[in-house]
Every structure is written in structure tokens, then in C-alpha cells.
Structure 1
Amino acid sequence: MLSLLSLFPVVAAGSATFSSFRLAGAQEFQTFHPASTFEVFPNGIDHPLSGRAQPAHFRDSALAFIHKRLGNGTTLYKSGFESDVAAHVYVHQQFNGIPVTNAIANVAQNKAGKVTSFASSFVSARPRKVPSSVAKLSAEQAGQRATSALGGSALNDREWTLAYLALNADELVLTYAIPLQLSPEQRVLAYVDAATSAVVSVINQTLDLTYRAIPITARDPNDGFELIVDPEDLVASPSGWTTPRSGINSHATRGNNVVATLYTGTLTAPEPFDNYTWDASLEPDDQRNVNASIVNAFYVLNTVHDVFYRYGFTEDAFNFQGADAIFLRVQSTITRNNAFFFPTPDGTPPEIHMLLWDSTSPMRDGDLETDIIAHEATHGLTTRLIGGGSGGCVNSAEAGALGEGWSDAFADWLAQTSEDIKDFALGTYVLDSPIGIRSAPYSTDTKVNNITFELLQSSEGEVHVFGELWAEVLHLQLAALVAEYGFTSDARTNPTGTGGNVIWLHLFVDSLPLLPCQPTFLDARTSWIQADAVRYEGRNKCLLWKVFAGRGIGVGAKADHVNNFEVPEECA
């Protein structure tokens, strides 16, 4: 039977939403997230430049398609890149030559030049209010106004440029986006009206783990330290891990991908890296333990960088290299019992803060738990690939929950070592608890974990709670794919392997750049299925749908988060 899904586009429409940010005892700020449309074309469709004797560049053909859908003169090119199976182009909606920061559209094309997906969160083409594009205050004045209104200090690590911000579907305001450090553990993006100097919106830019060198296949010090020889993947890191952009080997934990320092200073751990031993009887911040902690965190984060690179998160695809290498703050003292990722747009270095945990004595160091570092690093992957390197498309309630789920899920993938997909719990070492920091381990056993789509109906949850659903679903997807195709033992460096774990990570990475800005769970489900259509010609469609449907995200699931256990007719 021919599937309707194969013949016609799958269209998902998301509702407009608002997210809020409140300072302690102060005004609450709301940010508008425009309604999005997300269409996928499993077999691909033609664009307006199809049929030419000389094939068009993917950027030109994507822009032609976008202009046909959204109108000429409506867009500003933002970014684009080409992977081994698809090309991606991102644009902002524009008025008066100024981009609308929260209105993005994106197109994906396969290697045959066919359009395979289209997403847009554009607002009205004729808003009721479009202010002048001429600012009445300077960027410096906007920065002063932001700090005066909110406190903290403005960060100068990126250019403060003008952009329209959609306050709703029919009203724009001309703003400067000012990044602020409100406290050691809190960073935000404040939008300042360029005409009135009012702070009109504030977005949280702090992604944290929140409550609840060791070999990369191990989890924590309980598994033991080993001498690891030449761990660099020279395909992903041609100059190794300790050579920064300057080309001069630093012989320290400072390189092109990661700069790992003790939080309280600029101290890096010098070579030889096998000199530093960990003494579990001492506090982590004892000087004898500090360098061992820095080296381990540096090793794990670089390894994750190399894995992501192999699967398509390259410099062209907005990863963290050279000028925007990740600053890894080891044993950060900004607070306790947590870990933080501070996202940035492409070209600006982000930061990861790894903390100490005081549930035990001596305290335990998150820098020694592989899954926590992997979780934070995955926030970098998702915040860069969704939105074309913007760093700002994972802020709405559902998008934030997906972000936490993706981060848990990759840490889970990294921890699996065989066809026997084991239950996975995050943060077991730092809490000294087999359950870790989440409500339950991720498991194929419904007696251990039975959460379904209706979890999102709760008014008491937050992004980490809701994110558990997505991580659990991806755990089940991994188990199903490995049961079908087996397990590739060298998957971290072999993206051509045939095992289910290789297929899973390709779907994971491939699905992200397809998504609209501020995606929903239904968008994420659709992009996962479409990633399989593009890379594997849809051969896993029914397997993947059965997993989604098994947890209530079936083909009839809607934005009301009522469970639906249906699969497409051809998969029944």
C-alpha cells in the first residue's frame, strides 16, 4: 500500500506562545514566540529553480523556495551549511532592512536538490505597527539602560545590533539585544526599545542540569582512571586538542575546541597529563585533586566535540572551534549542586560551568562525571543547530524541555557499550544515588519508567521534568534501533557503521537543523521521522512511529498533550 505520508507533505502547525522571566520581587517580562509551521516532504519536491541546465547553488534554490512561499523582499539571509545528506538555509523576516529576531524560516534540501522540509515562524506580513528603523539611542545607552533596569553587568562578547522584536503577531518594536550577567549563575538577553529605552523583554540564557581521565565509556571515579594514549580524533581535530587557533601547541588544557581552566583563575593543567592523580579521600578542591579534575573535564568535552563533528556538527554547521571554543570553568564556585551551559550565537565563545556537589563528604565534583559534562555539551549542539547558529531558538517551554531531553539522551547514548541497552540514570555519582537527579531512570521496562505524552498537561512541571519524556522516548528509540540493527562498538569515530546506535545518532543530529525556532514535541517527532526519510529513505519509519505511539505521541497527537497511541495505517 502506498502511504499518504509518502505522497503528500506532512504539515505541523504550532500555536504562538509566551515565555516569562521574573526577577526576584520584580517585574515579570514576557517574550512572544510566533506560531510556527513545519512541513516535511519525505520524497522531496521541486523548488522554483529546478530544471535549469546548470543546477543552482543550494542557497539560491532555498531562497527562491522561501520567496515563493513567503514573498519577495520579506527576508534577510542569516546562515546556511551543507552536510553529507542535506543542505540547510536560514533566513530572518525583515522590515526596512532590519531582521525580526524571533521570526525565522528555514529550508532543507537533499543531495538531489529537492526540498525536503520547510519551517517558518514569521509574523504577519503587514503588522499593525512597524516602528522606524532609526534608533533614538545608541547601543551603549541601551546597555546602560538594561543594567540600570535589571542590575548586573553587560557582556561585551558580541556586537549589540538593532533588530525588530515581535511583541505579538501584529506588533514590532525596534530593539537592542543586550546580554547581561545578573549573577554568577544567571545570564539573560535583555531587549531594550531603541526609541523609548524601556526593557520590553528578557530571555533566560542559562541552561542548567538542576537537582537530581576517566575513559569515555565509563561514568565516574568509581569506574577508575586509566592512562589514555592519543585520544584525539585527528579527523575532527586535525591539530589535536592542545593547539589553539594560533597554531602553537599550548601543552596545557587549552586548544581549538576547549579552554579548560579552574574557575577561580586562568589556571590550566599543563602536560604531562598523566601526572595527576585523584585522591577520593580529599575534597575535590584540594590542590592535589584540582589538575586531575581539569584534565578529566578537558578530555571528556573534547571527546564529545569529536563525536559531534563526525556526525555533522562541523565548523560550517556552527560548532565550537577556534574563535568560539568552549570555555570550560572547572570547579566553578558560582553555586553548588548543579552545572550550567551559557549559550551564544555562532562566533561567540559559550561557557560551561561545572560545580561541586555537597550531598556527600568529601564533596563530589561534577567534572568527574562523564554524563553531566556530555549533558551540558549537548546544549551547545541543540542551541546552535536549531535556528542556524542563533543560539536563541530553544527558549519556549516545550523547546526548553526538548533541550533537556536531548541532553540527557546523548549522555545516555554515550554510556551504552553493547547491544544490551541498559537503564540510564543521570548524576548517580554526584548524588551517590542509583536513581540520580531525575524522577526515574530511562528504561525499556514500564515498571521502571512509564511516562507518556500527557505528562505535559501538568501545571507543576518545568523543563527538566517535561524533558524526561523526550529523553525516555529517545532511550526507547535507541533500544529499538539496536534491537533491529545491532550495535557498532566504534560508533564514536565511525559514522559509517551499520549499528542501530550509529543510525540513532545520525537521526539525532540530522533532525535538529530541520526544526523551526522554538520547536514543540510534535515538531521534534516530525523532524525525527523526516531525518530517517532523508538519510535512510524512510526504511525505519514504522519502527520509529511505534516507539512514539507507545508513549502517547502517536500520529493523531495534538498540541493539547492528550495521549494518542495510533500509528500510520501502513504501520498498523
Structure 2
Amino acid sequence: MKKQLLSLFVTLIVFCIGNSAFTQEKLADTKLGLQILDYIKNNEKLSHLTSTDVADIYLDRTSYSKSSGVTHVYLYQSYKGVKIYNAISNVAIKNNEIFYFKDNFVPNLKDKVNVLSPSLKAVEAMQKAATHFKINIEGSPEVVSSSTLKKVFSKGGMSQENVPVELMYLKDKDGNLKLVWDLSIYTKDSKHWWSVRIDAINGAVLDKDDWVINCSFEGEHTHQNGHITSVLKQTHTFDVFKKSMFFVDGSQYNVLPLPIESPNHGSFQVITNPADPEASPFGWHDTDGIAGAEFTITRGNNVWAQDDIDGINLTNGGSPDGTASLNFNFPITTLDQDAANYLDAATINLFYHNNVMHDIWYYYGFDEASGNFQENNYGNEGDDGDGVVAQAQDGSGTNNANFATPPDGSAPRMQMFLWSPAGIATDNLTISGGTIAGNYGSVKPSRGNGADGTGNITGPSSTPVTGALVIVDDGGVIPEEGCSPLVNSANVAGKIAVIRRGSCAFTEKIQNAQDAGAIAVIVANHNNPTSDPDYVPYVNMYGVTDPEFTIPSIFVNYDDGQTIISAIRRRERITATIVDNGPFFKDSSFDNGIVIHEYGHGISTRLTGGANNSGCLNNNFQMGEGWSDWFTLMLTMKASDLGTDGRGIGTFASGEEIDGQGIRTRKYSTDFGVNEYTFNETNDDRVVGQDADTGEDIRLNEIVHYNGTIWATMLWDLTWAYVDKYGFDPDLYKAPVEIIK
């Protein structure tokens, strides 16, 4: 039996977040630092650290959580003024007492340093990194700023952001310290924000990680998609907001408000004045700290939500305009249509939930000083200029989402993709006339399987294409395969080309048909189900990235293909109509659980090692994926929920009903019949594949999402233990806090 009040958030994440101040002072030069040094000196567990080891330790940021009364301190170690990469220790203090010290310092520094001065210049290190990642540098990058140990170079056509290059030490696998140049490059396609360490002596790449966290939702989602005629379900929900306490600017948004997880979980509602007066004191559309909105589009201090349907990350992606009244009540009646038709509604929902995440977590310590995401910190500590760039219907990929989190002061980027229904045959093809008239199942091409994740094979649209049918002839042994320029182009022009699968790529077939003047393409499977034991009736056509085809293409199975080809050869007078009748792409910007999950990566990255360090969650055993799933579960929790319920993550995007498996290997539940995971599952080292680059075995317990699922399972069990003890409070903003030491 649940009570009505619950203290959950900070109880579980006390060691993660707080209100921090940017300091970077030497430990011995501050009162707080002297307290920490005294603790190190008198703590037996830290006795392995020598006086040299602690002589050059700095306060990177301090953190005070108003809700818990805990001060968090982030320390970094250096040697003779040169930082040691990721030698970051965390300290927690309450009532002037140090009750937690996470030691990540390198002991016996003096014996582990290889050299003191670099042979490689900073610009040479940048060139080495560019070569490693196969990135072209345009011209000669200019030095934007320079100090003894750090230079910042201009973008040089190689990066979306300036390239900082700093001298550091890196601990190798033997525990020795190598002098390196540490730098970051944000690739122009936004797929990677590389953080890399280059040997300062020989230029070798010693270490790298990616600040872009791709969720790699590996669930097999396509087989469960169906043609859903209505997904806007009406369900009862309750209000998680205290309206009287919110900033009043007249703004309104037609969205799926929390705790609704997706369109399958509830209905769209118009929410008025949702900005929190403490977290967003000038509303969601302000950037200058003066009353009045600077933007009437989905842009403001916390986030700029825009589309990136071309996948090229231009800063002028489309953003819905609510006019001076900030009216973002853009009606949407059905999602059973082409995603382009509801792009504005998706962008609004994305804008809304990025702001809600900003405002909620502000109350639990993720504020300006601790490195949250704001363009203007309104005079509070921390660095400005890092509101989230959130991209709806990003065209650079499908079936995924990602979040790139650089250090404080550089803007993170959230990319939300469409999720493909490829693999489901639907009646996109209608034959008229002759003996074979009727509707036929077909499969649309996959989007996002090209070399860079886009794909150039165009599927049908909601605008029908109708024409006579003609079998292609390439003059080869099997002429209907269309693998060479067509010899019957005069007959193909203005008609729908029918092509047999086989011998060459789909792109070659479609290109030859398009060059011959075809208005559409039907590719027929060549596998015979009666003679081929590996017969698969439908395949997902995919291509490269350039050029994008201008005519639509669909794929039909062997039997239907034979029926069509035979009718044409009998000279029957038939025509075909190709139109997109669904199933349609799912927009992950409407899957609030995925939006929350992605934003959660930004929180955990900024707070694990302090807002200045984005490289602390770069190993396969980090818990960021688990925290992000837990954020989703918590913020979509309802009073009617039970711990034994099975909660899937991403069920909407993956085309499932609300009780579906989702994108994880297990649903989240306290019922061991639903989710039997315990910490023991981290010992499962079965080989599940090989690394594409190195060929080395990949073991199950080395997969970050598998480990994240285990961690989130543990958190979810703990959550329900607290629910049973304290009850449930739907107020996401100001639930009471209890700290356990």
C-alpha cells in the first residue's frame, strides 16, 4: 500500500549533483582545501598518497545542494602544473564533516612521469588527430587563444566548434604517465565529438572517447510495428505542476505533459504558463534577463528546438512560431500520417520537455553553477552559452537518438530521429485493370542505412503515383534485373518500371530506371519460396547517400512479382498506383521517455566529474545508461503504478503497445518473473560478437546498455522500497528530501 508522500530523487543521487562554483584554486590555498588535505593526511585509506602526489591538487568546482545541505567538491591532480587526465576525486561534506571521499588520484607521481616537455607542437597534435579520424583541415587554423599549456584553434573547417588543445598527462595500462595533448573535435556531421589524447612525443593516438552518446537502441523493433489507425488514446492523468507558482507570460503548448510517456500512454493537452519561476525566472523564451520574450519560436534560454530533416546541422533549422502571444497550440489529430505533416508539433513537444527537464532538475541541484544548460546564467556562477540544441526529425539517421555533452560553456546537442516501420508489408500498391486487379503488400525502403546513416532510396509519399507498368530490359543475360543502362528506355519513360531483384545493388537498378525516365520502381523478389530454404519474402532496400532518388520505389515478394510480370508479358492492359498508406515512421520526439533519457546523459556527464570534465563516463561499466533509464521511469511514474508492473523503455518509438518489451533486454519490474536481473548479471561474459575495427571479441558484460539495464533495475527496486516506506508524491519539483549517509 502506497502513501501519498515520497522523497526519492536526492536520496538516490546525492553523490551526483549539487550547486557548484567554479574555482580552480590550489588545495593548499583555501580553507576548504586545508580541511581536505588534513583529511587525506589522517585517513588510513589514503596513506598511499605521498606529499608529492597531493602537492599539486586543485579545487576544480565546489558544489552545494540546497535541498540536501551537502557540499560536493571536485578535485583534479596535476604534476608540475600539468593536469593528469581524469585524475579527478570527489568529496562530499555535510555539517562541516567529510563523509565521502572517492579517490582517483595517481600515487607515486614522481616515479611514473616519462617526460616533462613535449616534442610535438599543439597544432601538430591537432593535425595528427585529424588524420586519425580522416578529417580534412581547410587552410591553416588560427590560434584563438593561447597560454603556456593550452591553445585554442579556430574550427578550420574540421570542427563545428573551436578546437582546444591542452598539455596533460595520461595514465597508461601499466600505471605510468605519458605526456599528451588533449583535444576535442566536433565533426561536421554531428555524429562524433571526439575527445582524444595524442602522444606529445611521437604523435600516436593513445586514447579517445566520444562525447556523443548514441543510445544504440538495439531492440528488434521493426517486427512488431503495425498499422495503427489511431494512437491518440484518451487516458486519465493528474497534474504534476502547481499552477499558481509558475511564471506567467501567456505561453501555451499543445504537448504530451508528464507523466504521459508517449501518445500511446495518453492524450495531447494544452499546457499554459509552464515555466518555473525559480528555474526559468524570465520564462522559456528569454535570453537577456529582461522581462519579455526575445524569441517567439521554440527557442529560449534553456533550449533551441528546431528540425534538421536534411541532417546537416544548420543553425537555421525550422522552428515553430507562436507569434507574440507565444501560442504553440498546434493541433494534431493523428500520427498515422507522414511525419513531415506534424513536424511543428514534434518540435514543440521536444522544446517543452527539454525545458521541463531543465526546470525539474534545477530543484535537485542541477543549476547554473553546477553546469546546467543555459544561454544566460543570469548572474549566477558557471559558464553561459550552452543551452541545448535539440533537433527534431534529424535526417542523419533513424531508429536512434543521441546527446552530445561538452564541458560547461559549450552547447550540447540532442538529436531525435524517426523510427522506421521498415519490414512490414502494407497495401502501398494497387493494380487496376486486367485479371490481377487488387491491392498488394509491399515494403518501403529503409531510411538511414546508407554509408553515413541517411540512405538515398526514396519511398512512396501520400501523393499517389499512377502509371502503366513496363518490365525493364538491360540487354543482359537476365534483362529484367536492370543492372546496366536500359535498352528499352523509350518504353520505360513515363511508366512504372518493374525490376527483378538480383546481381547488382538496388541503387544501380533504380538509377538506371530513373535515367530512363521511369516515374516509379517496383522491385520484385527473385527468391522462390518453394525451392529456396532461406527464402525471405520481403527485404528492406537501402542505399548510399548521394544522389537522392527523385522517384519512389517499393519492394514486393516473389509470388506477387511473378503475378505482375506474367500479366505484363500477357500484354494485359493494367496500371499501378503507388502511395504511402503506412505504417508510418514514428517520431521519437513524441516518446517522452527517450527525450528524458537523452537529457539524462547530459546531467550525468556534467555532474560525474564536474561540469568541466566530460570524459568520466567513457567506459563500458559506467552507470550513465542506467541513470537515464531511471530518469525516464521516475518522471513518468503514476499514482496507480505498481512495482510489479512491467515497464518497457521506448515502446512507442519501437512500434509496440504500452505493455511491450521496449528497447531493453528486460522490462523494469520488481517481479523476478518479469526481470530477474541482479548485480550478478554483470559477470556474464559470453561472447556476443566481434569488434568491427579490431576483430576482438565483444562480451555481454562489456556492452554499456546491458550494464545500464542492470543498474537501472537495481535503482528501480530501490525506488519501490522507498515508495513502500514513504509513499508517493506526484510533485516532481519540490518533493521533500532525505539524505542517507
The size of the alignment, in residue pairs, is 441
Could you give the per-residue CA deviations for residues 195-245 of structure 1, whole angstroms, max 9, x where no partner exists? 322221112323122222111211112322111101111111111111125
- What aligned pairs does 1:19-38 form with structure 2 within 5 A after superposition? none
Could you give the per-residue CA deviations for residues 102-135 of structure 1, whole angstroms, max 9, x where no partner exists? 211221110x200011111122323544244433
| Higher Cα radius of gyration | 2
2:166 to 161, 165, 177: 161
1:87 to 62, 71, 74: 71
CA positional deviation for 1:155: 4.9
Any conservation in 2 of the 1:311–1:495 contact (CA below 8 Å)?
no
> What residue number does 1:463 align with?
704
Tell me which moved more, 136-145 or 90-99: 136-145
Cα separation, 2, equivalents of 1:283 and 1:187: 31
2:263 to 181, 196, 221: 221
> What residue number does 1:22 align with?
none
Could you give the per-residue CA deviations for residues 332-387 of structure 1, whole angstroms, max 9, x where no partner exists? 12211001011211222111111100026210010011000000111111111111
Any conservation in 2 of the 1:173–1:193 contact (CA below 8 Å)?
yes
Q: 1:479 to 1:439 in 2, by over 3 A?
A: same
Q: Secondary structure at the match of 1:168?
A: coil
> What residue number does 1:560 align with?
none
Q: Secondary structure at the match of 1:398?
A: coil
Q: 1:456 to 1:440 in 2, by over 3 A?
A: same
Give the partner amino acid of 1:122.
F
Cα separation, 1, equivalents of 2:416 and 2:78: 39
> What residue number does 1:177 align with?
182
Cα separation, 1, equivalents of 2:56 and 2:40: 9
Any conservation in 2 of the 1:127–1:172 contact (CA below 8 Å)?
no
1:325 aligns with 2:387: yes
1:377 aligns with 2:599: yes
> What residue number does 2:348 align with?
295
Any conservation in 2 of the 1:356–1:364 contact (CA below 8 Å)?
yes
Q: 1:273 to 1:436 in 2, by over 3 A?
A: farther
CA positional deviation for 1:73: 1.1
Any conservation in 1 of the 2:93–2:99 contact (CA below 8 Å)?
yes
Cα separation, 2, equivalents of 1:363 and 1:369: 13
Instruction: Choose between structure 1 and 2 for higher RCO, CA contacts under 8 A separated by at least 6 residues.
Output: 2
Q: 1:60 to 1:276 in 2, by over 3 A?
A: farther
Could you give the per-residue CA deviations for residues 514-549 of structure 1, whole angstroms, max 9, x where no partner exists? xxxxxxxxxxxxxxxxx512xxxxxxxxxxxxxxxx
> What residue number does 2:299 align with?
254
> What residue number does 2:668 align with?
442
CA positional deviation for 1:274: 2.8
Any conservation in 1 of the 2:56–2:81 contact (CA below 8 Å)?
no
Q: 1:143 to 1:235 in 2, by over 3 A?
A: same
- What aligned pairs does 1:31-180 form with structure 2 within 5 A after superposition? 57-66=31-40, 69=46, 70=49, 71=51, 72-84=54-66, 85-110=69-94, 112-152=95-135, 153-157=158-162, 159-168=164-173, 170-180=175-185
Any conservation in 1 of the 2:594–2:650 contact (CA below 8 Å)?
yes
> What residue number does 1:26 align with?
none
1:475 aligns with 2:716: yes
Identity of aligned residues (%): 30
- What aligned pairs does 1:338-357 form with structure 2 within 5 A after superposition? 338-357=400-419
Runs of 5+ unmatched residues, structure 1? 1-37, 39-55, 497-501, 504-530, 534-572
Q: Secondary structure at the match of 2:361?
A: helix
2:651 to 425, 428, 432: 428
Any conservation in 2 of the 1:155–1:178 contact (CA below 8 Å)?
no
CA positional deviation for 1:181: 4.2
Any conservation in 1 of the 2:163–2:185 contact (CA below 8 Å)?
no
Q: 1:437 to 1:170 in 2, by over 3 A?
A: closer
Give the partner amino acid of 1:219.
E
Give the partner amino acid of 1:483.
D
Cα separation, 2, equivalents of 1:159 and 1:188: 12
Any conservation in 2 of the 1:86–1:108 contact (CA below 8 Å)?
yes
> TM-score, normalised on structure 1?
0.73
Any conservation in 2 of the 1:273–1:295 contact (CA below 8 Å)?
no
Tell me which moved more, 186-195 or 155-164: 155-164
Runs of 5+ unmatched residues, structure 2? 1-14, 16-29, 136-157, 220-254, 376-384, 423-582, 686-698
Give the partner amino acid of 1:261.
Q
Any conservation in 2 of the 1:58–1:113 contact (CA below 8 Å)?
no
CA positional deviation for 1:185: 2.6
Cα separation, 1, equivalents of 2:733 and 2:72: 24
Q: Secondary structure at the match of 1:105?
A: strand
